[in-house]
Amino acid sequence: MLYAFYFYLLTILFMFKKFDIVTIGGATQDIIYYTKDAEIINNKKNILKQKLIAFEYGAKIISDNVYLTFGGGGMNTAINFSTLGLKTGTILNLGLDWIGELIIKELKNKKIITNYINLDQNRYSGFSFILSYKNYNDRTIFGHRGANKFLKLSKNQLSKIKTKWIYISSLSGADALVKKNLQNIFSSFRKIKIAWNPGHAQLNYGYKFFQKYLPQIECFNLNKDEAIELVLSAGIKTTNMEKLLKTIYSWGAKMVLITNGHKGAYVYNGAKIYYKNALGHKGINITGAGDAFGSSFISGLMIYKKNIEKSLKLATYQAGAVIKEMGAQKGLLSINKIKTKYNL
């Protein structure tokens, strides 16, 4: 009885804990499978599928290198925020299975509060099979979203969370559920800083959907291709980075971050366009680089008192570290290591 009382008291204390940031999104068990047996086929018949990967029909494909890692935007960003020294919580929907147990164990090992994670007894946890080839530089992902698609956020649940920032990553599931979740997030955190890195499914909703939420956004994070598609949904056809930044900023976000792969990243805050070039070194795995960059930039805004230039540098260094290792989380560096290595 005494143990149960202390456990209950500890749970209540966590409920009212003041976080630096809480992430919302997905989590998966990732299996990265490397093979040299793949053949790449040029496909001129379909512009949307210009390259195909092929294997001999009926063959047994052998791998000398297999990696078991974790992924998912909600988990990747939570792990990074905690690694960079921030008090972090996360909201996920996991299956009541061994994958869910492993994910929670890993989160706890990284000092992330897991009290807001729901265990869904009717679903399996999400997982991905990532096929890596060509000296690890290219990969094809076979994903099963599983329980991630059934994340349900109530206003009652969200109202109990005390945090300085909310970080929304890609959300999966039926459109009606995702839109309801977003509606509850934005109505529950009107006075909280929100960073948003929407997934492809949300971007398909178009300009009019985002316009109603962007005035609440502290930092809106996209890659260049996504930005081009989003402004196109508003009838604006452009690939010019300055126009992309200023167009999206005009819709209400306080800050717009657009990444452009090996060509670097840009930020616009209404007064100045900031740019940081990529490090230029080759990696072995790009999975998770975007999550590392976006969450590191937000970490930098907190650590360096809204200094955008230092935040961009932190994001660049952390993303550069991630691509040197297999998986979305293994290469992450602590803030002390980054400060020491790069004198930041």
**Rounded CA separation 120/27 (Å):** 13
Residues in the chain: 344
Q: Using DSSP bridges, classify how beta strands 256-259 and 265-268 pair: parallel, antiparallel or unpaired.
A: antiparallel
Q: Average pLDDT of 37-47? A: 85
Domain membership flag for residue 302:
yes
**Rounded CA separation 69/31 (Å):** 6
Domain hosting residue 186, numbered range: 2-26+72-127+149-196+279-342
Q: Which pLDDT band, with edges at 50, 70 and 90, does 8 fall under? A: very low
b/e for 160-177, b at 16 or more Cβ within 10 A?
Answer: ebebebbbbbbbbbeeeb
- Predicted TM-score of the model (pTM): 0.90
Helix H or strand E encompassing 184: helix 175-188
- Residue 154 pLDDT: 94
Q: Average pLDDT of 148-177? A: 95
Residue-wise pLDDT tens digits, 83-116? 999 999 999 999 999 999 999 999 999 999 999 9
Place of tokens 């890993």: 106
User: C-alpha angle 269/197/133, rounded to 5°?
Assistant: 125
Q: Which pLDDT band, with edges at 50, 70 and 90, does 267 fall under? A: very high
In the predicted model, is pLDDT for residue 67 greater than 80? yes
Place of tokens 């126009």: 243
Domain membership flag for residue 256:
no
Comparing 38-52, 144-158, 252-266, 325-339, which segment has the lowest mean pLDDT?
38-52
332 backbone dihedrals φ, ψ, rounded to 5°? -60, 135
User: Looking at the 3D structure of the chain, how many domains does it have?
Assistant: 1
Beta bridge partners of 28: 71, 126
- Residue 297 pLDDT: 98
Domain membership flag for residue 232:
no
What is the DSSP code (8-state) at residue 233?
T
Domain membership flag for residue 164:
yes
CATH code assigned at 190: 3.40.1190.20
Q: Average pLDDT of 205-227? A: 95
- Residue 84 pLDDT: 97
Q: Average pLDDT of 152-175? A: 95
Using left for φ > 0, alpha for ψ between -120 and 50, and beta otherwise, residue 275 falls in beta
**Rounded CA separation 58/55 (Å):** 9
Domain membership flag for residue 162:
yes
Q: For all residues of the chain together, what is the average pLDDT? A: 90
